Every structure is written in structure tokens, then in C-alpha cells.
Structure 1
């Protein structure tokens, strides 16, 4: 890194080695008073709100490490209706898909204005050992709004997001964390399938082993990463993410970008520490992965990398959220050193940093596979907008409903998403057990939808075979025309019903006519325990329609359905649906196919009773 007292500046001679830019430093002294800033070219001087404005800024010198803001820093200084703010620029080298440079590097500025008005923009260059230098100011006019725009959470509606134009959607999602080969073709296929199925979000990792990480070791996969490494950002990777966000926007799909992963900062679970560029044995300066959260040198490096990410992709509409850490509970800092306070402080610091420089600003989230640890992290880091739970267990759908209640009681709303899920035994390949996977997908997607906790399936490589897109299409059809601004949960209960495992009338009478399962909280995780076979239900309404998901509780907890249920009645407490004649439509949750209808009965109390047709495992109900 360069210190502020350095008089000389290292110039960069760009060589072509194996088609990839490499750097050879050459020291030269700058003449006193010499201007380093040249002309500025904007792609437009008029834009709509949320429209991207881009500028290319001529900097007359090349630097030893243009990615290091302690050595050289270029910012856009924006004067507008709300005062002055600073937004970072970034250095880029234009490369093709193979990483071959098409020319020299240049400085860019990308920004999306969030309100109408007139803005004056000039650029400030900070170089070690020199006075700050500014370009002339350019007037930009921001007027009007287009369709869509950036998306942000609706804090009053669990799981609902709202776009700049006021349109809303439920945050249905799918993981597509990485592809090691044929990335662009593979991701385009995922986006196309998601758009067709009504999936709104895709979760993508920045990860070294898949060549999707900016700093990953230059010793891996040469010549792909030659000339890049710790503190020097791989321009092939950066160009890929440029393409990724642009392509996601074409399909109307939003991306949650994962910045750090547990394997990179761990030795026990999916450990990649041995290849990490921060590792002292690999050319870095950290002796243990856990030092990542406390070492000041690591913090400075991470700030620089996050600054680069915000500068380069902060104006991308398709970027919905920054995920600081995937499953931080599996990092060595938590698993081996029990450093929960240090990890919490790191999260709080990084959230504040990203929110300060991101102009949108976006939600900053984190994830865990341990429910109780996630709750502790939430209490210690209220700066995080949302907390993502990962559930790989057969009873995940039952746990999801219970977690929604727990978080509602704690915070008054549900800042929660199930960012990954699968069955307990699931891996990337086990086609002979696909029936169990399909059942898990159905109950997680439907239970998550009606309780307000979006659930995102993990194994994207078999999403089609597992029926993910089919269930999402069913959700999209059932909720077509939904009034998200009026969405709220509705109290429902199932009464009566006899099935292959139905309880006796005596047992039912002792239970007050309704028999349910219970959730018991043990030492560090939620666990479910069935009291006896019965039927579970949850529902959501938009004031004009109510949608309920009804299922055998043994099925909800990951078991096979218990045979045919008959004679059950769904009771909705004080339903807000005001039409005089109410009809209930019944459908198959896995496909959305209609299987019958009936007239609902409203009693003087306002409660509505719907006699359910015979069903096995689960059934969907639409009251309208």
C-alpha cells in the first residue's frame, strides 16, 4: 500500500503475458503542479430517476495498484437538492470472456440518482503525497421515472418488496451460487427459467473455487488470474459480474450478491482457507481464518474491495441486496474460537460502511444455518436489515412457521428469509429419492409464502428435475393479480377430519376439538414433536382473496402423508373478505391445478367455514 507521505508514484507498464494484463512497476517523480486529471465524458447529461449515468474520467498517470484507495482514489462529488455526497469511481480494464485485455485501463463512474432535480458533478483525485485535484463541474438533470427500478423491502409486509414505480412482489427466489464452466450460458438459462416461473430473485456467490472472486490467489488457474490477487481485482471476474447484472435485468430478475463465504474463512466446513490470498502461507498476512474479523489490515483490504463492488455495481438495478457472509456460523471464528462478539462487531462495521457509500441504499444481510445463533446475531447487530436462515432438515417447513412467530414477537415484523433449504440427507445427486425432495420443495415454498418467509431452494443443478419451477408457476398463477400493499396474515384452523391416522373422538374432545403438533425449543435449535396426527393450516389475504395452505402435519414435518383425510373443515377467523357470496376453490399445491370448489359459510361471528374435500398430504384453498 502507498502512504500519504510518498513523493514518488509508481507508474504501471502494462504488458501482455498470455493474453492477460500483468503489471511491472516503474517509479517516476511527478512534476510540481502537473495536472493528473484530463477530460470527462458522460454517457448522458439527462436521466430518469434510477437511470444509470456513466462517466469516463481521464487520469494521465497509471498507478502501481489503481485498486488501492490508499494509493490513489477517485470520487464523484455530487451537489444536489439534498446537499453534497461523495460516490466512488473505479478502475477497470476491458477484457473479453477469456480474460484478454482489449486495451488499457480507464477510470469509470456509475451512478443512479434517487430523486429528481439538478445535480452538479465533479471528480476529485486523491494521490499519496499530492494535493487533492478536481475536474470542472458538469450539470446533470434528473427528471421523470421509468417502469420498475430498484427494489427494496416493504417493512410492513413480511417477504414483500416494492419497486421504485410502486409495484410490489413477494421475494420468491432460487440459489444459483456458481457455475464452474460455461457461466454465461448457464446463468442465462437460470434467469430465463426463473422469469418464466415467476421467481423474482437469484442468490449468487463471489467465490474463489468457481473463479467468481475478485482477489483469489494468482497461483490458481494461471493464466486466468495472472497479475491479480490480494488487493488487485481480477478484471475477468469483474467483467462477468457486469454481464450478470445486465442479463438479470433483461429478464426482470433481482440478484442477492454474497460477498464472503464460510469455506474461505474456515478449515472445518467446506474449507478453502489453504487457497485464500489472505492466508500467510499463501502470500497474505493472516495466520488464522478467524483473524479476518479483527485484523486491521484485513479490514482495510475488505473496505477497499467493498468500495470497488459498490462503485462498479451499485448503479445496477438488478442488484437487490448485499449478503455480507454466507453461513458465518460455519466460519472458524464461530466454530473454533467462539468469537461471537468480534463477528458481530465486524458485521455492524461493514453494514455501516456499505450503507454509507451505497447510493440506493440496499439491504445488507447475513446468513446462518443455526437458528439460535442467528437470533443472537440479530440482537447484537440491529443494523442488518434481514437475517437469512438455512434449513437442511426434514421438518424445515414446520420450523419455518415457528420461526416466523418467534421473530414477529421479538421485533414486530419478520425480517427473515430462508436463504437455502433442502432435506436432511440431500446432496447434489440422488435421483432415486427425488420424491422426498419434491415434497420438501412443495411444503417449503407454500408454507413460506403464506407465513411471509420466502424460501429459496439450494440445489440449482437439479431444480428442474425436483419440480422447483413447477411449484413456483403454481404460486404465480394462484397469486396473479394479488394486491400486495394490503397483504396480511389470517388466522385459520382445521377442525374435524378423519384419516388413516385420525385421532379418536375422545382424544379430540380432550383437546378442545382441535388437535395440533407443538414446537419445543431445546438448547440451541428449534425441534418439532408431533402430539398426534392432525391437520395444519396457514393463510394470507389481500382483502379481496384469501389463500390457505392446508396439510397433514406429519407431511409438514417431513414424513409421508398419512392417507386420505375426509370431513375436515377450515375455519377462518373474522376474514376480511367482504363479498356476500363466498366461494372456495381447491387446488393441488404442487401444480396449481383446480380440483373442485364449494360455497363457504359465514357465521354471525364473522368466521368463515369451508368444508374441505378429501385430500392426501396437502391441499390449497382460495377464498374469493
Structure 2
């Protein structure tokens, strides 16, 4: 390609945290037809002289933009603009609205989430700085509430979230593009996402951007199929929901939308990952492939399961993951959410996440499910007590219990609370702040802590249902644990319990033990003690009416 000369003006750009994106804007007047169908690339020249293609996005009228986050200091230049067609790349004449070149001073690592180079089962910023995701879902919100929510989360020490592209919150790019608008994207929605992502950047929140959710192509669970713009009932082209994964027109429209998403927001380190689907197991394509074989013996549900093919769902994931990676110059992670950790669709994903809504949540979220790939990161991306009968949901007691139990699995990230509305309504941010302090004290990001057995000896006369009970994660030099009152974790007003906790296999020597509040970031008590050659770390708990956390650090050999 011979680049079009776009000028040589250099604008000095000071590095401004957290994401000093470079943005080139230009007009193209020779792009006919639907601009969302055009594959426009800008050729950026790095300071070392290397050139690469970055996808451009349409922003209204004849304006196109390219966004890029620099990873080194020096001058970055837009060397040319091309359009990709079936016959190859073609040069375009671009009328620049911005300087052609930017000078960047002292560009530090921007902080894109990767799998940690030294341990690919964990996360790291830019692959080198260990990072432990901890936060809560904020799947949708009024636009003006996102900055307030992200600010509260950041103040409480949270660094992770998960936001869906849903139509009912005005966050879906193409849900209302019907009739002759089919194939176009809503620029007002796009600008809304601009502001959400900028707010996440400002507050140091990295989130999974959820591209699809199950209800869009399900007739069984949280169904929105009756209003899907691609459904024949609404003037579209899909006869059945399962065709979303296989119909050529659906595949082409999805590819175009995903290219646009990467072009517009792929610059941002605030996007932890592209999440292809929320709970794809509830779509007709996935669910139907599992049950059609036997349910047809009892009742005709062919109108729901027509076209269902579990292999097609896995192939769709592989194709869309490949598409995202092919255009994403910043190499964001790609994931999805599905119930079965050994399903073939996970083969093309960078990390695994599950969702957990069980009757015994404390046991469930404090474990990694069977079948999860130990060579890739895993964490629970949603947890909730929706299937539990406890009467204490309204006061947030069990939300706090799930939060703490979810730190005890040894996973690559915390188990992430779903009910952000409950956190906001009950102002549970202090509980998260306490957990964040515990995560720092336990060095969850820098260590590979794994679940460890804890032997508990209740004080004499303690009711068996009261406990205490305890969980812990540890490595050779660090133990982080949580002890709780079996009744008080649910109900206020219980008598305090005490007990002795023993963790075996610990390193001999001098240890420092701190007992931490679970309701605020505070140290309650602490001491130093000796672990002998037999390796038993023995802790005497304080009074426990609800719960308490502890961190033990090896100091030195004796």
C-alpha cells in the first residue's frame, strides 16, 4: 500500500491517566452505501517506524475516527487510509480534522488485562503486573448512574465490573434498527457507551463488555425473542432463535457490529474483555441441542428447538473470537459465560467464568467447579442468593457472607456479586472496602493462593450449628481466611462463639497473624507466633458474632 500523505503536524500529547488515547478524525466522501458495511482501516506508524492497520469507525455524516492507546513514547503518525473489499485494499482520500501525527512523552504501560506471563492461570496488567479482579456486576443502569456507581466502587477498592449491551437500558447498538435501517448501528447508543467507558477509565474500573445475552435468542429464559428485530415476526429474517448462530445474514451482521465495537472501544484498558454471551446455555441453540433428543418423545417443541445444534454454538464462538482478535490491535481477552466448563465452546476462550445460584451458596462459591481448565484463569462472574430461602436477603447479611466465601476458592478472581441494586440500596460498600483491604493484606494478586483445609475446634459448650466454621486459601508463606458464626452469618443477635483453627503443612518459623473486620477496613487484633517443624499453624479466634477474617504472614525461620 502506498499511503496517502496526510500531513506531518505534530501535536504534543501529555500522558494523562488513565488512558491518553490518540484519536484521528477525518472525512471520507467516497464511501457509498451503508457506512457500517465498509471496512475502513487507518495505517498508523509507530515511533520505531513499523506500520499497522487499525480499524476505523463511522461517527456520523462523513466523519470517521481511529482510536489508539500508545504503548511507548515517541511520534505516532497516521500514514494513510484504506478500504478493504473483496478485491483487496484500496487507498482513500481523507480530509483530516485532527493532526496527522502525535508526539507522546513518557508513555507507561497502559494496563490492558492479559493472562499473566509467569502464570497463565492468573491475570496481569499488560501481562506482567499481577491483577486480581474484584467488584460487582453493574449489568445495566441509567446512564447518569454509571459514574456515581463506578466512583463508589473505586472508593471501596473494587476494580472489576460487567456491563451488558441491553436494549431496555438504551445500550444495544442495533436492537431498534428495523426495516430499511437493518444493518445500521445507533450512534446515540454508541456515544452513550463512550461516556460509560470514559467513566470506567476515570475510576480505574475494568469491565467485561457483554455483547449478547441469552434472552435475545431464547424462548424459555428471560425471553426477548418476541421483539427481536431479526425475527420474521418483526420483519426480520430469522425463523427460529437457534438460527442466530448459523444464518449467513445473522453472522454477517454480527461480524460487522463486532468490528465496529472493537474499532470504537478497543483502545481502552477499561475493557477487560469482550464477553460474547451471557449464559449462552439458556439460548435455544444451546439448550435445544441438549434436550431436543429426548423431549421430542413427549411433546412437540420443534418450533422452539428448530435448528438447535450444540456444535454450531461452539463454532459461532470460535468464529467470533477469531474475528475480534483479527481486528483488535490491543489484544483484549475474549470470554463468554456458560454452565458447563468442559463444553467445546470454551476452547476458543481466553478464560472461563461461571455463574452460581445454588441452595448452598457458601459451599458453592468457595470452590472451583469440576472440569475448569487449570491452565486458564477461572472465576465466578455472577453469584446470587436467588434460589435460597433465607429471610435475611433484605438486610444484606448473606450478600456479605457470599462476598467473603467467594474469596476462598483459590480462583483467579473473586466471586462477583450480581445484585448491584441491593448493594446500592443497602449501602454495602463498606463490606466491599473491608474485603478489598483483606485482598491487599493477603496479596491475592501477587500469589497463587489455593484452598486449604481448616480444622476447627469449637469452644466447649458451643452448639454445633453455631460453629464457628472457617475457610482459608494459602501458599507457602501466606494464609488468608474467613471464620463465621453458623447462625450469626444469617441472623443478628446471636451469642458469640470462639474456637481454635489449625492449618497444617505450614512453613516452620515465626508468623504474624492479624484479625480483620469484615464490615470495615480495620485490623481488630494481631500477634506473632511460632510454627514448629510439624507445620501446624494454630489460631485462637476472637469472639465471633457474625464473621471475622484473618491473614497470617511468614516472617522468618527460627
Matched, 1:609 2:538: yes
How big is the shift at 1:392? 1.8
Distance 1:240 1:494 in 2: 52
Deviation at 1:176?
Answer: 1.3
2:65 is equivalent to residue 77 of structure 1: no
CA distance in 1, matches of 2:221, 2:8: 48
Match of 1:619 among 548, 551, 554: 548
Q: CA deviation at 1:165?
A: 9.8
1:198 and 2:157 aligned: yes
Secondary structure in structure 2 of the residue aligned to 1:351: helix
Partner Cα distance (1:139, 1:113) in 2: 12
Q: How big is the shift at 1:53?
A: 1.9
SS state of the match for residue 30, structure 2? coil
Q: Look up the match of 1:171.
A: 133
The alignment's TM-score, normalised by the length of structure 2, stands at 0.82
Aligned ranges 1:84-483 → 2 under 5 Å: 85-93=52-60, 104-114=61-71, 121-126=79-84, 132-134=90-92, 144-146=106-108, 149-154=111-116, 161-164=123-126, 167-179=129-141, 183-218=142-177, 229-338=181-290, 339-368=309-338, 370=339, 373=340, 375-377=341-343, 379-403=344-368, 406=370, 411-413=373-375, 415-425=377-387, 433-435=393-395, 437-448=396-407, 451-452=410-411, 453-466=413-426, 468-480=428-440, 483=443
The change in CA–CA distance for 1:553 and 1:386 in structure 2 (over 3 A counts) is farther
Distance 1:212 1:568 in 2: 51
Distance 1:569 1:130, change over 3 A: closer
CA distance, structure 2, for counterparts of residue 271 and residue 244 of structure 1: 26
* Aligned partner (choices 544, 555, 574) of residue 506 of structure 2: 574
Alignment-derived partner of residue 303 in structure 2: none
Equivalent position of 1:52 in the other structure: 21
Instruction: Give the TM-score taking structure 1 as reference length.
Output: 0.74
Query: What is the CA deviation profile of residues 403-446 of structure 1, one whole-angstrom value per residue up to 9, with x for unaligned ones?
Result: 25x35xx633462221111113479xx997424x4224333344
Which structure's residues are more often strand, by fraction? 1
Are the aligned partners of 1:154 and 1:160 in contact in 2 as well (CA < 8 Å)? yes
Measured in 2, the distance between the counterparts of 1:567 and 1:107 equals: 65
Partners in 2 of 1:431 and 1:334 — Cα distance? Answer: 34
CA 38–68 in structure 1, closer or farther in 2 if over 3 Å, else same? farther
Measure how far apart 1:364 and its partner are: 0.7
Counterpart CA distance in 2 for 1:479 and 1:259 is 30
Matched, 1:538 2:467: no
| In 1, Cα distance between equivalents of 2:530 and 2:452 | 16
Gap change, CA 1:148 and 1:606, over 3 Å in 2: farther
* TM-aligned CA deviation for residue 363 of structure 1: 1.0
Partner of 1:64: 33
For 1:376 and 1:141, the matched residues in 2 are separated by 47
Q: Which residue of 1 aligns with 2:298?
A: none
Task: Confirm or deny: 8 A CA contact 1:535 1:551 kept in the other structure.
Answer: yes
* Structure 1 residues 611 and 444: CA distance shift in structure 2, 3 A: same
Decide whether the 8 Å contact of 1:114 with 1:360 is kept in 2: no
CA contact (8 A) 1:490 1:573 kept: no
Pair 481,397 (structure 1): closer, same or farther in 2 beyond 3 Å: closer
Report the RMSD for the aligned CA atoms in angstroms: 3.7
Aligned-residue offset at 1:391: 1.4
Count residues with an aligned counterpart: 521
Judging changes above 3 Å, is the alpha-carbon distance between structure 1 residues 319 and 130 closer, same or farther for their aligned structure 2 residues? closer
Residue segments in structure 1 that go unaligned for 5+ positions in a row: 1-36, 94-103, 220-226, 504-531
- Structure 2 residue runs without a partner (length 5+): 291-308, 554-558
User: Structure 1 residues 130 and 321, CA, compared in 2 at 3 Å: closer, same or farther?
Assistant: closer
Once the two structures are superposed, what CA deviation does each residue of 1:233-267 show, in whole Å capped at 9, x if it has no partner?
Answer: 10110000111111111111112110001111111
Q: Separation in 2 of the partners of 1:280 and 1:202?
A: 35
Equivalent residue number for residue 491 of structure 1: 452
Aligned equivalent of 1:97: none
Q: How many Å separate the matches in 2 of 1:151 and 1:346?
A: 24
Counterpart secondary structure, 2:136: strand
> How far apart, CA to CA, are the structure 1 residues paired with 2:434 and 2:374?
30
Q: Distance in 1 between matches of 2:282 and 2:409?
A: 30
Q: CA deviation at 1:559?
A: 9.6
| Alpha-carbon separation, structure 2, partners of 1:362 and 1:82 | 24
Shift in alpha-carbon separation, 1:490–1:258, aligned structure 2, 3 A? closer
Higher gyration radius (CA): 1
